[in-house]
A = this chain, B = another copy of it.
């Protein structure tokens, strides 16, 4: 059966998250219904990252199988037609071979956490950023972020409900930079634990406020205890930016 890879953008404010839920409208459900609307097929759409309620995506990737071949541009446009008025769109669609799996073939996920650091609350970007009214030292945050880069047991930054088999992950990138009133935390890893980016962001904010030092972050990491980490940053600031694939992602 022909398999299609779709790259998606969505506004997390309008969904209960990626995954189908009994209690509300998910992006997965939106896409599955759009496929049904397009070709009358009931498919399961597999996403690369199970973004939580309120988390945004600029480059979520998903795949599904159709019984007949279709031009990828037609798939993209038809899904976008049927997704309306939900704030989710297919930016790109491609035919991929049947070995491709949006979740299991992914070699890296790139997340961005956005903080608006100014006295006045966000207006245009409300729901799209975490408001931090107290001045944050982004250089100290970036220094402390270096502590977390590498191969570690991230239990301290893992949601207690996380279902991953192991708390050990390799964090390839964790950088903090400022652009005007915005602070961006960029993170890249093959995969993340549940709430890992938000828990790291909440911890780095403590560093930015001068409440924690980089040494405190080291201690927290070593403790392997969620209660020793900083608070979970809110979903509104988190964006799934990109999902990267190796050879298995080649388009057919």
Residues of A near any B CB (own CB < 8 A): 9-11, 56, 58, 76-77, 80, 84, 87-91, 118-121, 123-124, 126, 128
Whether the pair A120, B90 counts as a contact (CB closer than 8 A) is yes
Chain B residues positioned under 8 Å from A10 (CB to CB): 123-124
Q: Which of A58, A80, A91, A123 has the most CB of B within 10 A?
A: A123
Chain B residues positioned under 8 Å from A128 (CB to CB): 124
The 3 closest A-B pairs by CB, nearest first: A89-B120, A87-B123, A11-B123
Q: Which of A58, A87, A88, A120 has the most CB of B within 10 A?
A: A120
Chain B residues positioned under 8 Å from A118 (CB to CB): 91
Whether the pair A9, B120 counts as a contact (CB closer than 8 A) is yes
11 intermolecular pairs with C-beta atoms under 8 Å apart = A10-B123, A11-B123, A11-B124, A58-B124, A76-B120, A80-B121, A87-B124, A88-B123, A89-B123, A91-B118, A91-B120
Whether the pair A87, B9 counts as a contact (CB closer than 8 A) is no
What separation, in Å, do the CA atoms of A118 and B10 have in the docked complex? 15
Whether the pair A9, B89 counts as a contact (CB closer than 8 A) is no
What separation, in Å, do the CA atoms of A87 and B121 have in the docked complex? 9
Whether the pair B58, A9 counts as a contact (CB closer than 8 A) is no
| Closest chain B residue to A127, Cβ basis | B124
Whether the pair A119, B58 counts as a contact (CB closer than 8 A) is no
Picked from B9, B76, B77, the residue with its CB within 8 Å of the CB of A124 is B9
What separation, in Å, do the CA atoms of A87 and B122 have in the docked complex? 8
What separation, in Å, do the CA atoms of A123 and B7 have in the docked complex? 14
Chain B residues positioned under 8 Å from A88 (CB to CB): 123
Cβ of A86 to closest chain B Cβ, rounded Å: 8
Cβ of A164 to closest chain B Cβ, rounded Å: 28
What separation, in Å, do the CA atoms of A58 and B123 have in the docked complex? 9
